[in-house]
Structure 1
Amino acid sequence: MKRRTATAALCAALLITATTTGAAVADGPHGGPHGGPPPREAAALTGTAELYRSAGDDITFTFDAHLAAEHGDDPLRATGTFEFSHYLNGEGARAKADVDCLLTGGDVAVVSGVITDSDLPGAEGRRVGVTVHDLGRHDRLGYSWAAMGSPAEGGELPRCVSSAPFEKVKKGTGDFHVVPWQPRL
């Protein structure tokens, strides 16, 4: 009988030690709950690609847009930047925008932002939107100025508004990556 009691007491002590040690490790300063990986961001659009144009236009888009996990229910809390440029025969313009909205669903993302730096007169301070369809090596892209005219002209564009992704990415250049948004509904 003493042997059973001693064995039971030893097992209980080991179980208590394992439980408290595991809880201390799980609640450590790194990682997510219970020691797992940190929570993934709620949504993202990253990458760079050139667009295909038969006339040889040099058109590039670059995205670094993120919606943090803690802001997952509010796409207007997205942060980051995106840049675009369009040149043909040495003439054109470039712009950089600060992200003010990011919505993603599956492999499609819509991002908008306010232009903070551009060599296109009148573009700074204007909001533009871009849509990306992440199709691996065959990504597609659309932009608000396809219907609204030059980013330097026209009325105020609402956040997270763009056009359908009608442009084709130049072969071998598309590396857009969309992290799908999964809001709590």
Structure 2
Amino acid sequence: MTRIAHTRTRLAAIAAALLITASAAGSAAALGDSAPGSARQQREAAALTGTAKLYRPAGDDITFTFDAHLAAKDNMHPDRAYGTFRFRHVFPNGTSGWAEGSVDCLLTGGKVAVVTGVITATDIGIKGRRVGMSVHDLGRHDRLGYSWVNKEAEEHLPPCVSSAPFEKVEAGTGDFTVLPWHPEYEQKS
């Protein structure tokens, strides 16, 4: 091989390597926030997920499940939250009731979340009613509260309102996860 041919081959190999590197960098930049594991990956603004059974020594089986989220783009609009919730109560005598609904607001602060939503399906006659629930994420010792402690408040409950998380969950069942909300306020100049 002549010296010129060898130099051309080497230059072609270097150019190909540079193109591959540039292409990979461009792809990573294009993925930006959505690339799994990317340092620039943008998390959602807030979330409440998980299931737990309430502690009831009388034998009631009461379970709450949440899959509530607030997208990063809606950070300053908790009333744009989305997702679902479900609760079920089986009494010791075997009678039961359940409801599921669509989330319409989510606020979180530290490990505490307040979520509201409208009942979309139920067997207890409260379809269309807004309910509020609160969760304190304490590992396997979570706590939960709900708006129907006060009958008057339940009938006219505004978005993002509930009681304090006063109920204990049954040992070992609390797997609620609260993603803290970080509001971003405009800076005064």
Cα distance change on mapping 1:154 and 1:105 into 2, 3 Å:
closer
How do 1:69-108 and structure 2 match up within 5 A? 69-88=72-91, 89-108=93-112
Contact 2:102/2:120, CA 8 A, preserved across alignment: yes
Unaligned runs of 5+ in 1: 1-13
1:30, distance to aligned residue in structure 2 (A): 5.4
**What corresponds to 2:134 in structure 1?**
131
Q: How many residues align?
A: 166
Contact 2:147/2:154, CA 8 A, preserved across alignment: no
Unaligned runs of 5+ in 2: 1-14
1:156, distance to aligned residue in structure 2 (A): 1.8
Contact 2:130/2:154, CA 8 A, preserved across alignment: no
Structure-1 separation of matches of 2:107 and 2:116: 9
* 1:31-85 superposed Cα distances (whole Å, 9 cap, x missing partner): 459x535211100000000000111111000000000111111000100000001
**What corresponds to 1:164 in structure 2?**
164
Structure-2 separation of matches of 1:179 and 1:138: 17
**What corresponds to 2:180 in structure 1?**
180
Structure-2 separation of matches of 1:31 and 1:182: 18
Q: Secondary structure at the match of 2:30?
A: coil
**What corresponds to 2:42 in structure 1?**
39
Q: 1:27 aligns with which of 15, 26, 29?
A: 29
Give 2:26's aligned amino acid.
A
How do 1:39-58 and structure 2 match up within 5 A? 39-58=42-61
Q: Secondary structure at the match of 1:28?
A: helix
Structure-2 separation of matches of 1:116 and 1:167: 24
Aligned residues: CA RMSD? 2.3
1:20, distance to aligned residue in structure 2 (A): 5.7
Compare 18-27 and 36-45 and name the one that shifted more: 18-27
Q: Secondary structure at the match of 1:104?
A: strand
Moved over 4 A (4+): 17-23
Structure-2 separation of matches of 1:101 and 1:148: 21
**What corresponds to 1:11 in structure 2?**
none
1:22, distance to aligned residue in structure 2 (A): 7.2
Structure-1 separation of matches of 2:147 and 2:33: 39
Give 1:147's aligned amino acid.
N
1:87, distance to aligned residue in structure 2 (A): 1.5
Q: How many percent of aligned residue pairs carry the same amino acid?
A: 60
1:24, distance to aligned residue in structure 2 (A): 1.7
1:29, distance to aligned residue in structure 2 (A): 3.1
